[in-house]
């Protein structure tokens, strides 16, 4: 009841306030609030009282126990300085990043756009982050461990594609002691040449070198939804042969269908990765293709178009080990994860 009332209230605030704000400015405001929740004992205790996942949702994956199978995808917490607050909001894990070895500003603004009728986003952020050193400081300074932490790593924009291996290795070495798992990001559309690293000849040396650098920390690779099914199978087979712990499926898409919003409006936003509800069907398809191509014990983290507990359960039923969301967080508000956890617990208990 509390979560439903709070979500309804957030919907009003979103329509009256956040919807009228620049998207990135609204994100910055939300980030400040979440950091405050993580730092203030009373606020954190109040959030946990509403959002703590039921014990029945505990999930074993990657050699760890997750409080819930549902977590927050990379892109929201770029630098790892919101983890305490996000954990108090009910996320079973938080994947930070993408983090690059050196700090970089990302692409010019504006670079983040809402497509409200489709509950979607277009972003061309370009791996804006403070670098591995700052992320390490932030993660080492955590006061709580409500959520496990994945670290999504990438190459700097100025690093030549042929030298990408060194950036992934540097990032893995710098952050492995603060990560419950690491993710190689070769699938963002917002860094020139990055998606080409999904070609097997380019990808294999990155996977092997980064796995060595990661040591005992589980390593996964994140793939794009725009790959052909055969390419997805081959990446799954490569990940298996290299000995990766899993695959994250999927990143944002460069496609612009299916959307109900006018093509003229969408085109005005320009290039970037599309996320949210329009990605739901393709992300589920990729999950099914990948699940059939990798061993049963390999972890698959499903992400793309997840809005409610039915979406989460559908991914789990299709073979996902863990599930992530991001875009709906901006539309549903701070108690989104709590609502999903309560829905999952109820679904498992009553079938509804």
Does 107 belong to an annotated binding site? no
Does 65 belong to an annotated binding site? no
Taking only the tens place, the pLDDT of each residue in 174-232 is 999 999 999 999 999 999 999 999 999 999 999 999 999 999 999 999 999 999 999 99
Does 76 belong to an annotated binding site? yes
Of 201, 202, 221, 226, which Cα lies nearest the Cα of 211? 221
pLDDT of the chain, 352 residues: tens digit per residue: 556 656 667 776 676 677 778 999 999 999 999 999 999 999 999 999 999 999 999 999 999 999 999 999 999 999 999 999 999 999 999 999 999 999 999 999 999 999 999 999 999 999 999 999 999 999 999 999 999 999 999 999 999 999 999 999 999 999 999 999 999 999 999 999 999 999 999 999 999 999 999 999 999 999 999 999 999 999 999 999 999 999 999 999 999 999 999 999 999 999 999 999 999 999 999 999 999 999 999 999 999 999 999 999 999 999 999 999 999 999 999 999 999 999 999 998 887 7
Does 168 belong to an annotated binding site? no
Does 124 belong to an annotated binding site? yes
With a CB cutoff of 8 Å and minimum separation 6, the contacts of 145 are 87
Tokens of 32: 């400040």
Does 155 belong to an annotated binding site? no
Q: What is the largest CA-CA distance in the chain?
A: 54
Does 127 belong to an annotated binding site? yes
Q: Indicate if 188 belongs to the active site.
A: yes
Contact 120, 274 (CB under 8 A): yes
Does 123 belong to an annotated binding site? yes
Does 251 belong to an annotated binding site? yes
Per residue, what are the HEC states of the chain? Answer: CHHHHHHHHHHHHHHHCHHHCCHHHHHHHHHHHHHHHHHCHHHHHHHHHHHCCCHHHCEEECCEEECCCEEECCCCCCCCCCHHHHHHCCCCEEEEEEECCCCECCCCCCCEEEEHHHCEEEECCCCCECCHHHHHHHHHCCCCCCCEEEEEECCCCCCCHHHHHHHHHHHHHHHHHHCCEEEEECCCCCCCCHHHHHCHHHHHHHHHHHHHHHCCCCEEEEECCCCCHHHHHHHHHHHHHHCCCEEEECCCECCCCCCCCCHHHHHHHCCCEEEEHHHHHHHHHHHHHHHHHCCCCCEEEEECCCCCHHHHHHHHHCCCCEEEECHHHHHHCCCHHHHHHHHHHHHHHHCC
Question: Of residues 51, 68, 188, 283, which has the active-site annotation?
Answer: 188
Taking only the tens place, the pLDDT of each residue in 65-93 is 999 999 999 999 999 999 999 999 999 99
Task: List strands edge to edge, sheet with 273-276.
Answer: 112-115, 120-123, 273-276
Does 243 belong to an annotated binding site? no
In the chain, what are the domains?
Answer: 2-350 (3.20.20.70)
Contact 111, 166 (CB under 8 A): no
Does 77 belong to an annotated binding site? yes
pLDDT for residue 267? 95
Tokens of 44: 């954190």
Does 82 belong to an annotated binding site? no
Of 164, 171, 177, which Cα lies nearest the Cα of 215? 177
């Amino acid at each position: 009841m509390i979560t439903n009332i709070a979500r309804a209230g957030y919907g009003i605030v979103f329509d009256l306030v956040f919807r009228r704000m620049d998207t990135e400015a609204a994100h910055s405001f939300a980030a400040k609030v979440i950091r405050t929740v993580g730092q203030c004992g009373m606020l954190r205790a109040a959030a946990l009282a509403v959002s703590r996942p039921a014990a029945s949702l505990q999930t074993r994956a990657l050699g760890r126990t997750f409080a819930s199978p549902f977590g927050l995808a990379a892109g929201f917490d770029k630098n790892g300085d919101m983890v305490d607050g996000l954990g108090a909001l009910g996320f079973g894990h938080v994947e930070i990043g993408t983090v690059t070895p050196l700090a970089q500003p990302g692409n010019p603004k504006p670079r983040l756009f809402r497509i409200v009728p489709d509950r979607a986003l277009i972003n061309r952020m370009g791996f804006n982050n403070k670098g591995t050193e700052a992320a390490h400081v932030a993660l080492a300074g955590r006061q709580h461990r409500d959520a496990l932490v994945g670290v999504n790593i990438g190459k700097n924009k100025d690093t030549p594609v042929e030298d990408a291996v060194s950036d992934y290795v540097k990032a893995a070495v710098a952050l492995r002691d603060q990560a419950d798992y690491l993710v190689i990001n070769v699938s963002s559309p917002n860094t020139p040449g990055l998606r080409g690293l999904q070609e097997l000849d380019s990808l294999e040396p990155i996977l092997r070198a980064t796995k060595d650098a990661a040591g005992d920390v589980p390593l996964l690779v994140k793939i794009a939804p725009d790959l052909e099914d055969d390419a997805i199978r081959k990446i799954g087979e490569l990940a298996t042969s290299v000995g990766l712990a899993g695959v994250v499926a999927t990143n944002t898409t460069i496609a612009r269908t299916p959307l109900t919003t006018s093509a003229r409006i969408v085109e005005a936003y320009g290039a970037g990765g599309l996320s949210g509800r329009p990605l739901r069907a393709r992300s589920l398809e990729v999950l099914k293709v990948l699940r059939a191509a990798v061993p049963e014990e390999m972890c698959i983290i499903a992400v793309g178009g997840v809005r409610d507990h039915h979406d989460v359960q559908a991914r789990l039923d299709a073979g996902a080990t863990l599930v992530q969301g991001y875009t709906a967080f901006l539309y549903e508000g701070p108690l989104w994860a709590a609502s999903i956890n309560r829905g999952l617990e109820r679904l498992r208990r009553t079938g509804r």
